[in-house]
């Protein structure tokens, strides 16, 4: 049975001085049986967040990781450096694709490193507005999945806990969220793409999240869809009231799907 995951992507927000307090507040206000909660702060805030949430059922993730283990890569952070700090990692976020020029091929190499190092990856995919307006969203997302996953062992990636986040670029940070039905259609398309890569059984096991202007008000629309297994939340994840509302709704879904223990 697939888990319900609510992952907070804090992006380039918070400092080591304030991240621990925010994470602690979120940990106490988001308790949600059956919901996997993850906070992904900036690298320099990982230790503060780890300490603040220790023993409180919240997991910690990085927002990216380098594809090499060590070497002359100024400013980068590798998988071994995250040991003891993070157990999850976001890969291929559209902001990294757009601002850091990340390609599907590079993201695939990061995925290999993350899995080998025991990090649980959240692989982000999603189309830009022009692609959606041209009706090309399934094709674009399918190509992203193929580019990052082709040739890799689906059972190993599923066993490593791979999560796919469908984040349409036009919905990120814009206040213009996709419709629940669109997210559900894309979750189906993602599983169809995985099956076409030879993933058959693993395709059904991989959680698919929606991301893009998720709030405590619209989360209902996404979690009402049986193919959507949670959310990757940006701006609203920095607001305790918002993320508390999102996790409370997710707890209802977890109970309805028989996940709450
Ligand atoms: P917003 O929730 O701010 O739109 O960001 C979504 C996102 O990019 C999460 O990774």
If you measure from the C-alpha of residue 71 to the centroid of ligand 1, how many angstroms do you get, rounded to a whole number? 31
Reduce the DSSP state of residue 123 to 3 states and report it: strand
pLDDT for the residue 233: 98
Q: Strands, E, within the chain: which ranges?
A: 4-9, 35-40, 58-62, 88-91, 120-125, 163-166, 208-211, 230-233
Atom of ligand 1 nearest to the CA of 172: 4
Specify which residues 35 forms β-bridges with: 4
Cα–Cα distances in Å, from 216 out to 74, 119, 190, 236? 39, 28, 25, 8
- Hey, how many other C-beta atoms are within 10 angstroms of the C-beta on 12? 8
Residues assigned a catalytic role:
93, 167
Index of the ligand 1 atom closest to the CA of residue 214 = 2
Helix/strand number for the chain, H first, E second: 11, 8
Average pLDDT over residues 1-22: 97
Of 89, 46, 86, nearest to 64 by C-alpha is: 89
The pLDDT value given to residue 261: 67
Total residue count of the chain as it appears in this document? 261
What is the value of pTM for the model shown?
0.98
pLDDT of residue 112: 97
In tens, the pLDDT along 80-130 reads 999 999 999 999 999 999 999 999 999 999 999 999 999 999 999 999 999
Q: How do residues 143-193 score in pLDDT, each as one tens digit?
A: 999 999 999 998 899 999 999 999 999 999 999 999 999 999 999 999 999
Which of 128, 213, 222 for a ligand 1 pocket mutation test, highest count of atoms within 8 Å of Cβ?
213
CA distance 5 to 236: 15
DSSP per residue over 188-253, as a string? HHHHHHHIIIIIHHHHHHS-EEEESS--TTTHHHHHTSTT--EEEESGGGGSHHHHHHHHHHHHHH
Say what percent of the chain tops pLDDT 90.
Answer: 95
Strand pairing of 230-233 and 4-9? parallel
Torsion of CA 94, 31, 1, 8, to 10 degrees: 0
Query: pLDDT exceeding 70 applies to what percent of the chain?
Result: 100
Q: How far is the CA of 14 from the centre of ligand 1 (A)?
A: 15
Name all residues whose Cβ lies below 6 A of ligand 1.
9, 93, 167, 172-173, 211-214, 232-236
């Amino acid at each position: 049975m697939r888990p319900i995951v609510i992952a907070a992507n804090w992006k380039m927000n918070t400092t080591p001085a304030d991240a621990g307090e925010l994470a602690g507040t979120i940990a106490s206000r988001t308790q949600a049986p059956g919901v996997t909660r993850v906070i992904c702060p900036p690298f320099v805030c990982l230790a503060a967040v780890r300490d603040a949430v220790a023993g409180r059922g919240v997991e910690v993730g990085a927002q990216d990781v380098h594809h090499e283990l060590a070497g002359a890569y100024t400013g980068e952070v590798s998988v071994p450096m995250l040991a003891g700090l993070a157990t999850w990692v976001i890969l291929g976020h559209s902001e990294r694709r757009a601002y850091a020029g990340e390609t599907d091929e590079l993201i695939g190499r990061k995925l290999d490193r993350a899995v080998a190092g025991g990090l649980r990856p959240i692989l982000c995919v999603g189309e830009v507005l022009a692609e959606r307006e041209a009706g090309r969203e399934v094709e674009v997302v399918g190509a992203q999945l193929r580019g990052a996953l082709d040739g890799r062992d689906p059972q190993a990636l599923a066993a490593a806990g791979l999560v796919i986040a469908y984040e349409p670029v036009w919905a990120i940070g814009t206040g213009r969220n996709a419709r629940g039905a669109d997210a559900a259609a894309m979750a189906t398309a993602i599983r169809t793409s995985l099956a076409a890569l030879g993933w058959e059984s693993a395709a059904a096991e991989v959680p698919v999240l929606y991301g893009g202007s998720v709030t405590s008000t619209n989360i209902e629309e996404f979690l009402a869809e049986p193919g959507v297994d949670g959310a990757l939340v940006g701006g609203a994840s920095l607001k305790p009231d918002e993320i508390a509302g999102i996790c409370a709704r997710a707890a209802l879904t977890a109970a309805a799907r028989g996940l709450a223990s």
